[in-house]
Amino acid sequence: MGEVEKSGVPTVTFANRNFVKEFAVYSETWGTPGLPHAIVTDYQFSLASENEIHHLMDSLGIEALIDGLTRTPTNGTVYQTDTVSLAHVLLGQDVPELETFEAADRLEAWEKMNATFLERGWGDGFPLVAPTPEKVAQMVAATRRSADDVIGVLQPGFGIATVQKIAINAVMAGCKPDQMPVLIAAVDAMTDPAYKLRQICTSTTAFTPLLWVNGPIRERIGINSGMCCLGPGAPSAVNTAIGRTVRLLLMNIAGSYAGITDPDSLGSPNKYSMCIGENEEASAWAPFHVDRGYRHDQSTVTLVCASSLKEWNDQRPANPLELIRKLAVTVCDPGGTNSWGWLARGHANSNDPIANPNDCLIIMLPNQARYLADAGWTKAGTKEVLHLFARMPGRNRPGSKPAWNAKLNDGRREEWDWLPDNLDVEVPMVRSPDNFQIVVAGGDNYKAMVVPGGNKTVTRLIEE
């Protein structure tokens, strides 16, 4: 709407009452503060049926629409075109680039800094390391880039991610200089349009990046790919710091702040930090990055959009087929936020590489992968069988026919118009076998972790 207004075309936005604050913030972020809007519902507008939408419009009245289209935005027609501080736009703060915190001793000064940063909304709730100029310079020096190099622009706030800004947040999260190349590659991955970072950051679901690292850099910087690789504890300290940095980057560069631009209904501890390494040495299959065309001696970082973690186990599998069939049951989640997401409105063109592929990550333990490989199962074949079994009748979707109608009624899903009237048909949870991403990690056991989410899994080469 902001770009339309800038072009000279009047607009009015229909807003959910719960998102009015977010709409106002985004209007200013897009350089068009004060855009007209009309409150039409207390629930998610996109889930309303056609009849409900007609009723909402009737109850709203034409006057509100006319007012929005004829009323000049509160800022007149002066739109922001220069680069501005997100701290000012989102948080109403004007702070210097360098601050000194004074107290009776260094500990008290550090505590004062932490209290101030948390009050400003810059922290995740845990203590932060002081980002002194010396520590930040050390982080920058560990890269091949200069401090002012721009790695990308991060949505939803369109924050400019320079090497220095990444380094500042990395220091605060507890990272060491040798971890900076992973973070730079991760930021680059998040800017990929197919990753849809804005959707991840602004959803009412607890979507969050989950990272995994492949290649020699894992051992060199101490990333845990074995037992407890998702934490907590000393073995996963590097994993935790890298994952925590990503969260701080989403807050302090991307502008994803709780209750302001992040409307997450409940939140999740997963959003604090999720980073692992693939246990390549214990796997019977080729590493993930090799499957994607990289060399064994190269290092990569891969990001997936995660909404939850679901542990599954089968301690005494009868055979490989039975193991995968039972794993598919855990994949099938009729009430999951993004279940059958590849059918959602706006993703009708299956040939569009940016359409929602609904990727689902399977973190498989090493001996489970070896069990399948010893039986002659390849990773690609495993994904094919998993796709065959990971499907459910349409009627399993909560709300059944009305819910499917709401999901498909935008007029661009003609090929699926028949589904609401044929709810006994089993529908795949993801579009194709390639939308299952299998990573081998953790310690030996007959378990796996199913990580549903959505969007496309993105891999980037780590510059060393």
| CB neighbour list of residue 403: distance below 8 Å, 6 or more residues apart | 397
Q: How far apart are CA 358 and CA 304, in angstroms?
A: 10
φ/ψ region of 243 (left if φ > 0, alpha if ψ in -120 to 50, else beta) reads: alpha
CA 462 to chain centroid, in Å, comes to 20
User: What is the model's pLDDT at position 314?
Assistant: 84
Strands 150-154 and 159-162 come out as antiparallel
Higher-confidence residue of 37 and 447: namely 447
Among all chains, which residue has been given the structure tokens 């609904």? 358
Q: How far apart are CA 454 and CA 305, in angstroms?
A: 6
Average pLDDT, the chain: 85
Q: How far apart are CA 79 and CA 57, in angstroms?
A: 30
| pLDDT of 272 strictly over 90 | yes
pLDDT digits (tens, 9 = 90+) for 415-460: 777 877 888 899 899 889 999 999 999 999 888 999 998 788 999 9
Q: How far apart are CA 325 and CA 386, in angstroms?
A: 7
Higher-confidence residue of 348 and 188: namely 188
Among all chains, which residue has been given the structure tokens 């590659």? 185
Q: How many CB atoms lie within 10 A of CB 103?
A: 12
Q: pTM for the complete prediction? A: 0.87
Give the range among 85-89, 112-116, 233-237, 390-394 with minimum mean pLDDT: 85-89
| pLDDT of 404 strictly over 90 | no
User: What is the model's pLDDT at position 403?
Assistant: 59
User: What is the model's pLDDT at position 103?
Assistant: 96
Percent with pLDDT over 90 in the chain? 58
User: What is the model's pLDDT at position 456?
Assistant: 87
| CB neighbour list of residue 52: distance below 8 Å, 6 or more residues apart | none
**Which structure tokens are listed for 50?**
């056609």
What Rg value do the Cα atoms of the chain yield, rounded? 24
End-to-end C-alpha distance for the chain, whole angstroms: 42
User: What is the model's pLDDT at position 102?
Assistant: 95
pLDDT digits (tens, 9 = 90+) for 281-340: 999 999 999 999 999 999 999 999 999 999 998 888 889 999 999 999 999 988 777 677
In eight-state DSSP terms, residue 258 is B
Strands 300-306 and 275-277 come out as unpaired
Q: How far apart are CA 243 and CA 303, in angstroms?
A: 11
User: What is the model's pLDDT at position 316?
Assistant: 83
